[in-house]
Structure 1
Amino acid sequence: MSKIIEYFKTLTQIPHCSKEAEKLCDFLVKFAKERGYEVEVDEVKNIYIHKGMPTLCLQAHYDMVCMGKAPQIETYVEEGWMKAKDSSLGADNGMAIAMMMQLMDEGRVLEFLLTSDEEIGLIGANEVAFDLKASCMLNLDSEDEAEVYIGCAGGADITAFKQDSYFEGRGDCYEVAVKGLSGGHSGVDIDKGIPSAIKVLGHYLTKHGVTQLASIYAGERRNSIPANAVAIVRSEMPLEGEGDVTVRQLNESPLILSEGDKLIALIEAFKHGVRKENKELGIPDVSINLAIINADEQGGIVIETSARAMDAASLEELTEETVSFFDMYGFEAKVEDKYPAWKPDVTDFTELVDQKMKEVFGKSRLMAIHAGLECGVIAEKYPKMKFASIGPTIRYPHSTREKAKLDSVEKTFIVLDKIIQSV
């Protein structure tokens, strides 16, 4: 039995939320050097670890989406799954890092590329410029055993801003809240029927004719389906909770946004979720996540979304449509952190990975994923390199329900070992 799970538990105790992973970076650099590897770290904290003349590069990101109590992570095992109490687990992509640590312990002649801030726009991957020696790269950021990923969605974050003003409101004041929904990954879970707290809140306000909005704080991360949304409103008609919406009357008389009614209308009109299915691949083809809406005390309204598509033309069309939509409501929109799709490609390397997967699991499928893998970005920088992606079964990443199947981790490592020996 390898030490992978113990290494993973060690990683959970070192804070590594996106933008705040310096301690883990330092830990991994020290770990690799102590085992005789050469290590390089660039300006954005990508880590390149290597030994000898390797033919295979293993790649993963070392930041995580921190939800709930994270980075305070308390792990436990239930019915063969590792989970975390009231927080995201960080198995995405910590299990991959733990596998790499095991391989470094064994002194394998490999390259390891550990990228930074993947979860907030593939920031590290976009800056990779190391002199990689290997002819093949195996990404370890997929989340289903017995599947080999050979393509992924491209994406873009579209944000919108409007400066509003406040004036006197009418009627009673209420806190209208949607809290503790299940949440999930805005790519791989977007077609699973998971409700968006923002959409639930917006529909309630629209249904009950609420137009006076004092403030709203909704959503957690751009790449997470919103689990929480809270608005302070005023209404001349009494409001009561229903379904997932709780209502609490407040003894306050806040000012209200002059265009709060337009924001409520925008939330109701926004087409959150899957826009188009890819029947050939059996996954969403185009989707968008209405991720975050905040209105601060100075009247600044900020909206953040995450758009995905399996090809460049569809992503461009969705981006332009979304910018136009925000413009229609008087918002100034801009596109941030755009990254390319990875076009599905079958090579002798993907066929090798597929064969080794079958040897261990008895089955395998070549797949594409409706989420951003760093292969798309890195492949543009290293056009002669061949790519594939695998990983153990992880469910509900980017949420407090995240869990990793422990026997899948061990079996996936056996697959990885077979690939390393065969390349």
Structure 2
Amino acid sequence: MSKIIEHFKTLTQIPHCSKEADKLCDFLVGFAKERGYEAEVDEVKNIYIHKGTPRLCLQAHYDMVCMGKAPQIETYEEDGWMKAKDASLGADNAMAIAMMMQLMEEGKVLEYLITSDEEIGLIGANQLAFDLKASYMLNLDSEDEAEVYIGCAGGADITAFRQDSYTEGKGACYEVAVRGLSGGHSGVDIDKNIPSAIKVLGAYLAKQNVTQLVSLYAGERRNSIPANAVAIVRSETVLPNEEAVTARVLDESPDILKEGARIIELINCFRHGVHQMNKSFGIPHTSINLAIISADEKGGMQVETSARAMDMEALEKLTQETVELFETFGLTAKVEDKYPAWKPEVTDFTKLVDKKMQEVFGQSRLMAIHAGLECGVIAQKYPHIKFASIGPTIRYPHSTREMVQLDSVEKTFSVLERIIQAL
């Protein structure tokens, strides 16, 4: 067990934020080759490591969502959990890679598919073209022990833009800020009543009848629930501090955005969060994250959102509704980085994984996840492969609260060993 954790700690010291993970790519290729494996890297930096003629391919991604001080990561342990000081930890998905590294140390005859830039739209998975030989693929990117995932949400990012200009304003100038909210994963945490800094700020401005907006900078990542939002406004009445909101007077008299009032209105009209629940699995069926908004004269108004749904018909409907809302407010909308849902299916492979999970944990559930596992994309490219997904318990990924349960890592690796042995 300690070897896996040591591998993970090594990975935390190699920067691997999305789009900035070349050093980790090079490290993993070298690590594999030193242990007798063949390693290939394609144009988008996906890594394919293999030996012999394996029946099983293990799959994970090697980029991470960098929040707080990340990629500067200082790990520590507390009450059986590993955490990072003021940073996202990157257990999503480096703990999976640490398990792979241990299996490479043991020389297991397996395929390892480690994809790039998963966290910013499954970019690597969408461009896969390796000649995979295994009949089964086990994704290691789910985040609850004793659960076998057999389906996942599809998703799409909807962005919008409109140019704006300044006009004369009235009243005192304020900085109105919401800072340091907990944040979280825009898929698996979207139903956990985590407040969005953008929505909190919008509600405050509407309550105080603020319509004069100078600038707005809010949110961090498309796949993270916003933790911070800061607006510069003008008001002819005194703006008070409220819980989670601070209002600070500035010694300035700036011009205001002509469409500032409409921006505030859009924030309050936008249905951030869960739209519909999936009764079969007790998870959201459709949701959308109002992720990032920026507004000033130079860059205009830019909005970034992340929509998810457990089937493609529902995703198409939610996407179209969002586009129409943006267009109602005079923005030009664009749909980006669309990826398919992975339709839940029970197979001989999912039954095997479920059985091995029960042997270790004493229980197991077949589940679907309201997040974008790469299985849906890869399954379209390799229809002969059967899929399942497992992973250790990780809480609050994509935030500085991210943590992984160490005992869960040990037990999940035991399940993995049993699956390998059975195949």
Report TM bin, short chain.
over 0.9
In structure 2, distance between residues paired with 1:342 and 1:59: 15
Amino acid at match of 2:249: Q
Amino acid at match of 2:321: E
Amino acid at match of 1:310: M
Runs of 4+ in structure 1 off by over 2 angstroms are: none
1:155-166 aligned at under 5 Å gives the runs 155-166=155-166
Query: Is residue 2–residue 102 contact of structure 1 (8 Å, CA) maintained in 2?
Result: no
Amino acid at match of 2:372: G
Query: Is residue 150–residue 367 contact of structure 1 (8 Å, CA) maintained in 2?
Result: yes
In structure 2, distance between residues paired with 1:296 and 1:359: 57
1:329-408 aligned at under 5 Å gives the runs 329-408=329-408
Amino acid at match of 1:200: V
In structure 1, distance between residues paired with 2:34 and 2:299: 53
In structure 1, distance between residues paired with 2:379 and 2:2: 31
Query: Is residue 257–residue 299 contact of structure 1 (8 Å, CA) maintained in 2?
Result: no
Amino acid at match of 1:62: Y
Amino acid at match of 1:317: K
In structure 2, distance between residues paired with 1:369 and 1:69: 28
SS at 1:295 equivalent: strand
Query: Is residue 61–residue 114 contact of structure 1 (8 Å, CA) maintained in 2?
Result: yes
In structure 2, distance between residues paired with 1:115 and 1:154: 18
| Matching of residue 42 in structure 1 with residue 42 in structure 2 | yes
| Matching of residue 284 in structure 1 with residue 297 in structure 2 | no
1:132-143 aligned at under 5 Å gives the runs 132-143=132-143
Instruction: List alignment gaps of at least 5 residues for structure 1.
Output: none
Partner residue, 2:61: 61
1:120-139 aligned at under 5 Å gives the runs 120-139=120-139
Query: Is residue 257–residue 297 contact of structure 2 (8 Å, CA) maintained in 1?
Result: no
| Matching of residue 26 in structure 1 with residue 26 in structure 2 | yes
Q: CA deviation at 1:255?
A: 1.4
In structure 2, distance between residues paired with 1:299 and 1:109: 52
Q: CA deviation at 1:295?
A: 1.5
In structure 2, distance between residues paired with 1:129 and 1:365: 32
| Matching of residue 104 in structure 1 with residue 104 in structure 2 | yes
In structure 1, distance between residues paired with 2:295 and 2:114: 36
Partner residue, 2:14: 14
Q: CA deviation at 1:344?
A: 0.2
Q: CA deviation at 1:281?
A: 1.0
In structure 1, distance between residues paired with 2:42 and 2:183: 34
In structure 1, distance between residues paired with 2:403 and 2:60: 18
SS at 1:216 equivalent: strand
Partner residue, 1:236: 236
SS at 2:205 equivalent: helix
In structure 2, distance between residues paired with 1:231 and 1:74: 32
Query: Is residue 166–residue 299 contact of structure 1 (8 Å, CA) maintained in 2?
Result: no
Query: Is residue 65–residue 88 contact of structure 2 (8 Å, CA) maintained in 1?
Result: yes
Partner residue, 2:317: 317
Q: CA deviation at 1:409?
A: 0.3
Partner residue, 2:210: 210
SS at 2:352 equivalent: helix
Q: CA deviation at 1:195?
A: 0.3
Q: CA deviation at 1:296?
A: 3.6
TM-score, normalized by length of structure 2? 0.99
Query: Is residue 257–residue 296 contact of structure 2 (8 Å, CA) maintained in 1?
Result: no
In structure 1, distance between residues paired with 2:76 and 2:243: 31
SS at 2:202 equivalent: helix
1:136-155 aligned at under 5 Å gives the runs 136-155=136-155
Q: Can you list the C-alpha shifts for 1:166-219, whole angstroms capped at 9, x where unaligned?
A: 111111000000000000000000000000000000000001000000100000
RMSD across aligned positions (CA): 0.6
Query: Is residue 46–residue 124 contact of structure 2 (8 Å, CA) maintained in 1?
Result: yes
Partner residue, 1:267: 267
Instruction: List alignment gaps of at least 5 residues for structure 2.
Output: none
In structure 2, distance between residues paired with 1:400 and 1:299: 29
Go from structure 1 to structure 2 and tell me whether the alpha carbon gap of 1:417 and 1:299 turns closer, same or farther (over 3 Å shift). Answer: closer
Partner residue, 1:70: 70
In structure 1, distance between residues paired with 2:255 and 2:75: 44
In structure 2, distance between residues paired with 1:120 and 1:334: 16
Greater displacement, 291-300 / 321-330: 291-300
In structure 2, distance between residues paired with 1:356 and 1:298: 57
Query: Is residue 203–residue 268 contact of structure 1 (8 Å, CA) maintained in 2?
Result: yes
Amino acid at match of 1:372: G
Query: Is residue 163–residue 297 contact of structure 2 (8 Å, CA) maintained in 1?
Result: no
| Matching of residue 81 in structure 1 with residue 81 in structure 2 | yes
SS at 2:129 equivalent: coil
Query: Is residue 149–residue 366 contact of structure 2 (8 Å, CA) maintained in 1?
Result: yes
SS at 2:335 equivalent: strand
Greater displacement, 141-150 / 291-300: 291-300
- How many residue pairs get aligned? The number is 423
In structure 2, distance between residues paired with 1:100 and 1:256: 54
SS at 2:277 equivalent: strand
Q: State the identity as a percent.
A: 79
Partner residue, 2:200: 200
SS at 1:3 equivalent: helix
TM-score, normalized by length of structure 1? 0.99
Query: Is residue 166–residue 297 contact of structure 2 (8 Å, CA) maintained in 1?
Result: no
Q: CA deviation at 1:297?
A: 4.3
Partner residue, 1:189: 189
Amino acid at match of 1:230: V
Partner residue, 1:224: 224
In structure 2, distance between residues paired with 1:296 and 1:418: 56
Q: Can you list the C-alpha shifts for 1:79-119, whole angstroms capped at 9, x where unaligned?
A: 00000000000000010000000000000000000000000
